[in-house]
Amino acid sequence: MCRALTKHQPALGLAAMMMIALAPPEVAAESPPADSPPADSPPADSNDPQAAEEDTPEPPRWSSAGPAGHAPLGVMGDHTHAAGEWMLAYSFSRDAKGQLLDGASRVGVDEVYEQFPMVPIDMTMDMHMGHVMYAPTDRITLMGMVMWMRHRMDTRMADSAHGDHHDEDGGHGDHDDHDGHGSHHVHPHSVSGLADAELSALVTIWDRNRQRVHLNLGVGLPTGSIDAAEPAMHGDGEERLSYPMQLGSGSWEARPGITLLQQTRWLSLGAQAMGVFRVNENSAGYRLGPELLTTGWAQLRGNSWVAPGVRLAHSRFGNISGADPALDPSLSPENDPDRQGGSRLSAHASLNFQVPRGPLEGHRLAVEWGLPVWESLDGPQLGGGFHLALGWEYAL
């Protein structure tokens, strides 16, 4: 993990700069560098809220209370808990993709169908996630996440056979000679099951002046399947589904990150940078590329029931190293290890609700909706679409 962190030092440097940008000048001057190792115990002054509270009428510490105390739903590991607190959460999310991109340019299905006998047209990823947090101390919060996913994809393929439409008429892309209806059809694929689970520790390294910084030290567990298949369309046996359809990475993963939080009277602000690094090659002979996710958000405080927010998220994901021998890259771009990477900037709008009193006091509901605003993909690859998430959270 240390090597991974060093490799992505620019991202952590960016995160540290964002933290300094968020901080008032006099505080920035005395801020420790973001990568300094956590001390054995928090500084005495930040550990004694009463002493600090006497200086200023407003609570000087960052607080997770209220609907803006949790980030927009799409940010994981955004907040920590006080010693002894548990949190249970469930969320459902849907990510849809429906546009073929090559680089930043859109490409038509017909165009890609001239190169590949099987072309992805759209994809839907549904996720049900259960999520537990527990804080053994004020400084450390532990988190576990379990996910169940369903992936669906529609592909255009030749009517004649799986991957041999060129042979039918003896020419490349000669389906255009037909009237466009007889030569191909849309075939739905679907797979569901457990995805990769995550265990992580959130370690607070800075907590004063309504600013908080914590490290996200996560491990991804290879609980999701990487050999999902469907019955072969011609002949007996099964055909393995493409890389994006698989539910897991098959590798152990290091997921280091850093989260910066700040509150003002009217705003809750945050930024997070996180990496996903696959440590080992999986049993199918490949390793998914590294991912680097950075996001920043702002939410309105001031209402005890609801906090609207906006969020920008950037992700950079690498191509696959190695290859699954069961996937033929000439059949579909989804089977090609070198057509999986890219970057994406997306914009999200969110609403967080919390019940401030009564029998349901403390229950939180959240919704987030987002769209990609810029994408560049090693394509042809599916992009576009939307993200929608609904969630419930309860701390006890």
Nearer to Cu ion, 117 or 391 (CB): 391
Nearer to Cu ion, 18 or 87 (CB): 87
Contact 223, 194 (CB under 8 A): yes
Interface with Cu ion by CB under 5 A: which range of 1-9, 83-91, 99-107, 308-316?
Answer: 83-91
List binders of Cu ion among 130-149 (CB under 5 A): 133
List binders of Cu ion among 227-266 (CB under 5 A): none
Dihedral, 353, 357, 361, 365 alpha carbons, nearest 10: -10
Going by the DSSP 8-state scheme, the letter that residue 107 receives in this structure is -
Q: Please report how close the Cβ of residue 143 comes to Cu ion at its closest, in angstroms.
A: 7
Give which of 385, 363, 296, 371 is closest to 17, Cα–Cα: 296
Give me 309's structure tokens: 């927010």
Q: Please report how close the Cβ of residue 188 comes to Cu ion at its closest, in angstroms.
A: 37
Nearer to Cu ion, 121 or 133 (CB): 133
Nearer to Cu ion, 39 or 82 (CB): 82
Q: Which of helix, strand or coil describes residue 220?
A: strand
Nearer to Cu ion, 133 or 327 (CB): 133
Nearer to Cu ion, 135 or 382 (CB): 135
Contact 277, 11 (CB under 8 A): no
Answer yes or no whether residue 76 interacts with Cu ion by CB under 5 A. no
Give me 34's structure tokens: 């973001």
Among 11, 12, 34, 87, binds Cu ion (CB under 5 A): 87
How far is it, in rounded angstroms, from Cα 147 to Cα 129? 4
How far is it, in rounded angstroms, from Cα 88 to Cα 363? 10
- Residue nearest to Cu ion as judged by C-beta position: 87
Q: How far is CA 325 from CA 119, 138, 155, 252, 329, in A?
A: 20, 48, 21, 21, 9
Q: Please report how close the Cβ of residue 79 comes to Cu ion at its closest, in angstroms.
A: 6
Interface with Cu ion by CB under 5 A: which range of 40-48, 87-95, 226-234, 345-353?
Answer: 87-95
Give which of 317, 326, 340, 334 is closest to 115, Cα–Cα: 334
**How many residues of this chain interact with Cu ion, rule: CB under 5 A?**
2
Q: Where are the alpha helices (DSSP H) in 153-232?
A: 165-169
Q: Please report how close the Cβ of residue 131 comes to Cu ion at its closest, in angstroms.
A: 8
Number of helical (H) and strand (E) elements in the chain, helices listed first: 6, 19
Q: Could you give the string, one character per residue 95-134, with x where binding to Cu ion holds by CB under 5 A and - elsewhere?
A: --------------------------------------x-
Nearer to Cu ion, 87 or 274 (CB): 87
List of residues contacting Cu ion (CB under 5 A): 87, 133
